[in-house]
Amino acid sequence: MGFWHLVTFPVGEAAELHSVEDAVRKVAAMDAQGQLWAQEMLLQVTGSAIRLLDVHSKEELESYGLAGVLRCEAVLPNARAHSLLLLVCQEPQQTQPDAHFFQCTHIGAEPIREDINSALLGFTSGSNAQRKEALRWGGTPESGGLWRVRDEARLGLHVHPISWWRGGDDLLQSPPTPRAGRDLGVGALGAAQRGPAPLLTPRPPLTTSPPQELLNRIFDDIEAFVGKLQKSAEAFRVLKQLKRPNRGRRREPGEGLLTLRARPPLMEEFQDTLAKLKYSFSLLARLQSNILNPTSEELVHFLFGPLKMVVESSGGPEFASEIRSPMLTLEAVTLLRGCLGAQEAELWGSLGNDWTRPRVEFPGDYAAPYTLSFQSGWAPPRLGPDGQPWEDPVETQHQHELRRAQVTGVGKR
């Protein structure tokens, strides 16, 4: 079920947010600006605590003792279609409480609220009867008392994912060298820490032109991935500060969630983003005569910011150089050769032949066909504006270049 931890704020006179109501308004404002990020986990309500667990390892990320739970309510901020679960907790070592917000899109916050409130009642009275009754209403948690959860931390690129952590300048130190294999992550943090995420703006306006809409959708996914790298870097910096050698140090509230957020994107996400960046160059070449503000050349320069970050985040050019599909069109290679600056050209050249030579110069079966997919689930329309079946503009250009090469004898196909 879609049950998500949205965000956590400290509340109180000494905090930025003085009341729970202030926190509710801030969540609504962040939601309206699209500054939320989802991450799956499990929530378990026991007779003594509310636990957040890693969805794969079942490792405990956070544990909120029932003795420290001050409020548990279902709230409905403005513009929200579903109620949120509000949980206000204060551990003994905390000077002010934290307001945690959760969302459940399928069954609403009420069943979870009832589960927690019945656990609270049982905790104070020494009886679990009320909780067992509550679990029969509106749905039950998964086996073992586990609710499947997603964590949504703020995606703002210049703030810490968990708002109560405040780090100093020493958090800007580089993390350890990345490990090889599937864990690309610590390298990702190192690259992402070096500056703000290069946003893909300005971009072409979202129009009725399918190729331009396709370009904007690709940019959305690239931008989201770059934001994810930034989020991991922010969490890593703060986590490194917290984990400095300190004998006898107790784990701080929120440290488990911070550890989860510091995990880098999966290798498959790096591959997908690099492929979209590569495809974008061919699409920009195809749209060169159709977009003027900004131009295709200007957008190429914008793309090289994210490209540099993703390449560095994956440990260097080697990983990116192994991505064959999609291949570049000849007109994309021409565009890049004509507009790149010296540093951009150096990065481009470091990625190897699969990034710098067009598909028409390779054997026909050299690279597998490329099919775009999007995080949002969006897909190109089945029919174009002319009523004909939609065709991939980049693949259409590849076929055009192939036919031209067959006539002129250019290429190695």
| Per-residue pLDDT tens digits for 270-327 | 999 999 999 999 999 999 988 888 899 999 999 999 999 999 989 899 999 999 999 9
Confidence of residue 171 (pLDDT cuts 50, 70, 90): very low
Q: Is the pLDDT of residue 255 over 80?
A: no
Q: Is the pLDDT of residue 384 over 60?
A: yes
User: Can you tell me the mean pLDDT for 21-36?
Assistant: 80
| Per-residue pLDDT tens digits for 31-60 | 777 666 666 677 788 888 988 888 778 888
Q: Is the pLDDT of residue 385 over 70?
A: yes
3-154 is classed in which CATH architecture?
Answer: Roll (2.30)
What was the pLDDT predicted at 210?
A: 79
Which of 66-80, 110-124, 309-323 is the most confident on average?
A: 309-323
Q: Is the pLDDT of residue 358 over 90?
A: yes
pTM of the model: 0.64
Q: Is the pLDDT of residue 139 over 70?
A: no
Question: Which residues pair with residue 86 across a beta bridge?
Answer: 73, 101
More confident residue, 279 or 192: 279
| Per-residue pLDDT tens digits for 331-357 | 999 999 999 999 999 999 999 999 999
Confidence of residue 176 (pLDDT cuts 50, 70, 90): very low
Range scoring the smallest mean pLDDT among 170-184, 240-254, 317-331: 170-184
What was the pLDDT predicted at 413?
A: 46
What does the mean pLDDT of the chain come to?
Answer: 77
Q: Is the pLDDT of residue 200 over 60?
A: no
More confident residue, 226 or 201: 226
What was the pLDDT predicted at 167?
A: 25
More confident residue, 134 or 132: 132
Instruction: Kindly state the tokens that stand for 1.
Output: 């079920």
What was the pLDDT predicted at 159?
A: 22
Q: Is the pLDDT of residue 379 over 60?
A: yes
- Domain segments of the chain: what residues? 3-154, 169-408
Which of 80-84, 95-99, 161-165, 257-261 is the most confident on average?
A: 95-99
What was the pLDDT predicted at 34?
A: 67
What was the pLDDT predicted at 407?
A: 87
What was the pLDDT predicted at 347?
A: 98
Please report, rounded to a whole number, the percentage of residues in the chain having pLDDT higher than 90. Answer: 34
What was the pLDDT predicted at 140?
A: 46
